[in-house]
């Protein structure tokens, strides 16, 4: 694959996808940067897990390529740490000598792939594309939920009450009876909700 993965409905503000790499070996960081750049992917490399945590991560679909054997905290423990901190970046593990229990733990923890060094470039690139796509979907869903929440915040208490009843499938007349308003008033509230919804999109 020499084409960068593109989503058809990507918001204009979103940055290019980015691959983060953590490896304690400088040669390996350089080689991975080289490989990802050769197919036009953006890369950022780190020598350790804390270095990544200290840097400000950009708002873009991303994935993490991680050596399982890191100085200090192990790659697997870092995976657990990220999950606890509610950071859901998809992870691709690399290892010099992987055993089955390690692989099982990594995959159970939600890893996208587990590659043995030296890896085939195509395997690595396929894993990265899968991971970025997974992250993009997760971010889209997150954005929709956030939008809905923001919209809900703009509603008055009365509008929220009525929205809940609309969502439960009641007709205007039933809602009016439920909240003790005239049907016409309910219709006006619904109109306001619709307007805010249209603006919020």
Partner 1 sequence: MTTLGELTASIAHEVNQPLAAVVANAQACLRWLDREIPDLDAARRSVEWIVNDGNRASEVIRRVRALANKTDIEKAPLDIDDLVKEVSALVQRELISHRVSLRLELAPTLPMILGDRVQLQQVMINLVMNGIEAMQSVTDRPRQLAIRSGQDETHEVLVSVTDCGVGISAENADRLFNAFFTTKSGGMGMGLSICRSIVEAHGGRLSASGNEGPGATFQFVLPVHQEDAS
Question: What residues contact residue 136 under an 8 Å CB cut-off, 6+ apart?
Answer: 7, 10, 17, 61
Least Å distance between CB 27 and partner 1? 4
Least Å distance between CB 153 and partner 1? 48
Sign of CA dihedral 116, 28, 93, 43: negative
- Complex with partner 1: residue 34 or 168, whichever CB lies closer: 34
- Complex with partner 1: residue 46 or 136, whichever CB lies closer: 46
- Complex with partner 1: residue 67 or 135, whichever CB lies closer: 67
What is 125-169 written as a DSSP string? Answer: HHHHHHHHHHHHHHHHHHHHHHHHHHHHHHS-HHHHHHHHHHHTT
**Three-state SS at 80:** helix
Least Å distance between CB 143 and partner 1? 33
- Name the residues that contact partner 1, by CB under 8 A: 2, 25, 27-28, 30-32, 34-35, 37-39, 69, 94, 96-97, 117-121, 124
Question: Would strands 91-95 and 42-46 be described as parallel, antiparallel, or unpaired?
Answer: unpaired
- Complex with partner 1: residue 34 or 156, whichever CB lies closer: 34
Question: Bridge-partner residues for 50, per DSSP?
Answer: none
User: Within 10 A of 104 (CB to CB), how many other CB atoms are there?
Assistant: 11
Least Å distance between CB 121 and partner 1? 4
- Complex with partner 1: residue 41 or 175, whichever CB lies closer: 41
Least Å distance between CB 65 and partner 1? 11
């Amino acid at each position: 694959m020499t084409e960068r993965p593109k989503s058809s409905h990507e918001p204009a503000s979103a940055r290019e996808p980015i691959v983060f790499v953590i490896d304690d070996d400088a040669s390996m960081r350089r080689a991975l940067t080289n490989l990802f750049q050769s197919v036009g992917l953006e890369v950022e490399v780190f020598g350790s897990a804390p270095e990544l945590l200290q840097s400000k991560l950009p708002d873009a679909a991303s994935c993490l390529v991680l050596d399982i054997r890191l100085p200090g905290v192990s790659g697997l423990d870092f995976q657990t740490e990220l999950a606890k901190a509610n950071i859901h970046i998809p992870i691709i593990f690399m290892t010099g000598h992987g055993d089955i229990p390690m692989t099982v733990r990594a995959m159970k923890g939600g890893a996208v792939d587990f590659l043995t060094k030296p890896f085939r470039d195509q395997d690595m690139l396929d894993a990265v594309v899968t991971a970025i796509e997974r992250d993009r979907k997760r971010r889209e869903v997150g954005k929709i939920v956030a939008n809905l929440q923001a919209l809900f915040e703009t509603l008055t208490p009365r509008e929220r009450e009525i929205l809940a009843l609309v969502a439960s499938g009641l007709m205007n007349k039933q809602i009016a009876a439920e909240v003790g308003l005239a049907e016409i008033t309910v219709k006006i509230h619904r109109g306001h909700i619709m307007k805010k919804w249209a603006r919020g999109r």
